[in-house]
Chain A
Amino acid sequence: MDSAIRQSLRDGEKLGLRYALQIPQVAASGWTGSRSGRRAGSSIDFQDYREYQPGDDLRFIDWGIYARTDRLTVKLFREEVTPHLDLILDGSRSMNLIETAKANAVAQLAALLATAAANAQCTQAVWLSGEGFQRLPNDTLTPSAWDKLDLESKRTPDQSFEILPPKFRRLGVRVLVSDLLWPGEPLQMLRRLRDGAAALFVIQLLSRDDATPPEHGNLRVVDSETGDESEIYIDSSIAKQYAENLTQLQQSWSDACRQCGAHMTTLIAEDLGKSISELEAIQLLVPA
């Protein structure tokens, strides 16, 4: 992992200190943790009474009520859980587009989200697509300790899904960071991500070159992942058509997100610092 990515992780980590992941209610379940769960648990916060049922912890029988009513009643306390963030990073080469700030933005954004999750007492897992989804080494540590955040895969995320899908924790918050620039049906991918998740956020991270129509002239475009080339003379009609294609792609993902109950936003890598508010708008982050 090169130093620029490492530095971006630090920058993201520093930036994330100001935010916390906004945990939806549905996500208030999970491993025993420091946050109150939506179920009864073993915390010290009293929640309710109910009759004893075989298997209940005998330590929670309220003996005073038994003395008064001769009925075994157990005290229920609020469950304390640790919410979870599954950060799914698109590890394809397109996210490391040369002469753009895309790779740094991926690292910075991931670090920001991980730090915000930590601020929200969430556990985290960082999944990087490649030859299947792999967890990033040291992903449970602070982002500056992550390793092997290499965006060099020739596989698109959906291909990685086919090879080796990630093992998401149930009811976790899942955030996909990708440029979404691959062919295929977004709905299928999103359903897989959404399955068992408390919430799903899709962050489309584009470079400015991706987002803005190219200038006029002859251009030999090279696919960063496949190496395919295409020579095109760019004029106003082509530029317009490119913008339409991008809009159409975004629209298809947006529609799919809406169907799956996911939230989607688009960020420009070069303007990442100014775009954090977009994450607040989709209720992914809140100020810490």
Chain B
Amino acid sequence: MIPFLTYPLAMVALASVPALAAIYILRNRFRSRQVSSLLLWRFHVQSKSGGAKVHRLQLPLLFFLELLALLLLVVAATGPQWKMPQSARPLIVVLDDSFSMRAASDGVSAQTRAHDFLEKLFRHQPPPSTRLILAGTEPRSLGPTVKSWRELDELLSQWKCWSPDSAIDSAITLAAELGKQQANILVLTDHKPADEKISSQRLEWHAFGLPLDNFAIVNASRTAFGDQDRCLLEIANFSSAVRTTKLAVQTGTNSPETSLVSLGAHESQRLVFNIPSSAPSLRATLESDLLAEDNQVQLLPPIRKRVRVQVELTNENLSALANRTLDATGLRAAISENPELVIHESDTMTSSNSWSLRWQSSGATNAYTGPFIVDNSHPLAEGIALEGVVWAAASMTNAPGDVPVILAGDVPLFSEREDAIGRRQLTLNLNPELSTLPSTPDWPILFWNILQWRISEMPGLKESNARLGAEVNLKTTDETVTVTQPDGGKQFFPKTGGELALETPMPGIYSVAMGVTTNQFSVNALAADESDLSMCATGQWGKWSEDTERRLEETSAVWIFGLLALALLTTHLYLVATAKGGG
């Protein structure tokens, strides 16, 4: 018994049934009329559309069609549920997001095959709910739980397969946590599991890869090397035979230089060469093969940053030592206007926004030979050893707010602090004349660290070339940052001072606009493990336990009744048009 009172639409539709019947009854009701004789009412030919002599209420076929259509709509309005076999357990799908899934054989990639399999599974045995987890370098849950294939397909559009790695094990762990050990886990990848014997009854592993030969560029870098840039290209042959490929290298708009690269099975070759630093970009391309993503790299010029340093030391010896050391780092800018670092002896801070290094040498008469306490986690202490060093310093205690970097007991030898507006104040407690530090390798390291730290705090990109999936750091100012990805997608970051870690979800040239300045960095698909397709396989490992296979699930059947009603009305229309309905 359908509870019609709970379905207002059904009530309305049901009310139309007696209305329809009344219409037909009234329409078919015969007005009684006495006639002189039936003589004139005997017809030789009965009319098709009328005149049929009947002795009872005759309802045409159209009436029954309309009645049936109305009843179907009534039932549809009650939202009938259909018990259909469905998977009893929710499904969590782990999608291999690495770019090896893009390897295409006969134009069909493993990603496409996996997608088709998932669609087929979903249509054949739809689970009550489905969640997607992307197994990239890190597992990432892809949107909320969905129930229909349409929703799922929308989510699958985010499955790009551009990751340089596939953390499938981590993704399975995450899936197990999300599914609370109740969900079925489906892994869609292109390689077999590390342990082919899967013990879990909740896990099915499906691989859709094919073992294919592949040439790839697995490493590429471009670094500053004096006045030139040094480039490195590493090419690997991931096949079981000797193969030869053609490498084309193009710098800027120059014509590409091609060369043949012949490599043995699973052999790689590194190519190191220099190019002028003025060359805008370097593009290296291999012959096309089944995995196109790793056949090309683009390297932009490395970022060369210098620090404008102003030395305000009154002690000429100290000043000369400082200048000499700064020049040796190669990180000092040629000009000193608007300094970014001021080296001075006075206790007062500079009024500008520059960092300051206060060199406290007077009164530093105590020589310390160690042991020195070095904060190795601090960027200023990176590479500092201080072995056998005699450090002459003034006996003092650490000032409140100062962060000691190097200590001799409780005496701060080198410390730093940050003031309210973000400026760094470094304090060097050293009398070089009584110390051996300037004569040790730690001395230029110390200044290199100072300048490098200053550089790292300058706004802008820190690198111009990155591997796919790696984060590119950006030091921001109080300006909006707009990142344009290779596919044209834009990311906007509000005005926040600090550092942004930009994701690199796909290879190509990224453009970063910050204020009036725009910089670019290049991301290349460099991952030897993903380029090696020799281990790809097709097959199924593991199977969900039988008790989880099916159960009867109530599914809306409104569309069935709607379709039936539509078919009836179409038939009705046909009968009316051809005057066969008997009305």
On A, residues with C-beta under 8 Å from B are 94-95, 97-99, 102, 179, 181-183, 206-207, 209-210, 214, 217-226, 228-235, 237-238, 241-242, 245-246, 249
* B489 part of interface (Cβ distance < 8 Å): no
- B31 and A217: CB pair below 8 A? yes
- Contact partner of B30 (CB less than 8 A), chosen from A214, A220, A224, A237, is A220
Chain B residues with CB under 8 Å of A249's CB are 39-40
5 contacting pairs across A/B (C-beta < 8 A): A218-B29, A220-B31, A221-B38, A225-B36, A245-B39
Report yes or no: B36 in contact with A210, Cβ–Cβ below 8 A: yes
CA distance A181 to B34 in the complex (A): 14
Interface string of B6-35 (1 = CB under 8 A from A): 000000000000000000000111111111
Q: Hey, what's the 0/1 contact readout for B432-445 against A, CB within 8 Å counting as 1?
A: 00000000000000
| Set of chain A residues within 8 Å of B197, measured between Cβ atoms | none
The complex places the Cα of A229 from the Cα of B35 at a distance, in Å, of 10
> Could you say which residues of chain B place their CB within 8 Å of the CB of A225?
36-37
Residues 302-332 of B at the A interface (beta carbon under 8 Å): none
Shortest Cβ-Cβ A-B pairs, 9 listed: A233-B50, A94-B36, A220-B30, A181-B37, A235-B50, A218-B30, A245-B40, A223-B38, A238-B51
A231 to B32, CA, bound (A): 9
Instruction: Write the residues of chain B forming the contact surface with A, with a CB cutoff of 8 angstroms.
Output: 27-43, 45, 47, 49-55
Give, as a whole number of angstroms, the nearest-CB distance from A51 to chain B.
60
Please judge, given known A-B contacts A235-B50, A238-B50, whether A219 and B39 are in contact too, CB under 8 Å: no
User: B34 near A182 (CB under 8 angstroms)?
Assistant: no
**How far in angstroms is the closest Cβ of chain A from B583?**
10
Q: How far is the CA of A221 from the CA of B41 in the complex (A)?
A: 8
Residues of chain A lying within 8 A (CB to CB) of residue B49? 233, 235, 237
**A220 surroundings in chain B (CB, below 8 A):** 30-33
Also in contact, A232 and B41, with CB within 8 A (given A218-B28, A237-B50, A237-B51) = yes
Decide yes or no: A238 and B37 within 8 Å by CB, A218-B29, A232-B53 being known contacts: no
A95 to B27, CA, bound (A): 31
| A241 and B45 contact, Cβ closer than 8 Å, known pairs A217-B31, A220-B32 | yes
Known: A218-B30, A238-B51. 15 other contacts (CB 8 A): A94-B36, A99-B34, A181-B39, A182-B37, A210-B36, A214-B33, A221-B41, A222-B35, A226-B38, A235-B50, A237-B50, A238-B50, A242-B41, A246-B40, A249-B40
Chain A residues within 8 Å of B34, by CB: 97-99, 221-224
Chain A nearest CB: distance from B30 CB in Å? 4
What is the bound-complex CA distance between A214 and B35, given in angstroms?
A: 11
Instruction: Report which residue of B47, B53, B55 has the largest number of chain A beta carbons within 10 angstroms of its beta carbon.
Output: B47
Complex: how many Å from CA A179 to CA B40? 12
User: CA–CA, A280 to B313, complex, Å?
Assistant: 153
**Min distance, Cβ A212 to any Cβ of chain B, angstroms:** 11
Residues of A within 8 A of B43 (CB): 238, 241, 245
- Of A102, A224, A232, the residue contacting B51 (CB under 8 A) is A232
Could you tell me the distance between the alpha carbons of A230 and B55 in the complex, rounded to whole angstroms? 7
The CA-CA distance from A45 to B356 in the complex, in Å, is 172
Contacting residue for A97 out of B30, B36, B45, B47, CB 8 A = B36
Q: Which residues of B contact A246 (CB under 8 A)?
A: 40
Q: How far is the CA of A226 from the CA of B53 in the complex (A)?
A: 17
Q: Which residues of B contact A179 (CB under 8 A)?
A: 36-37
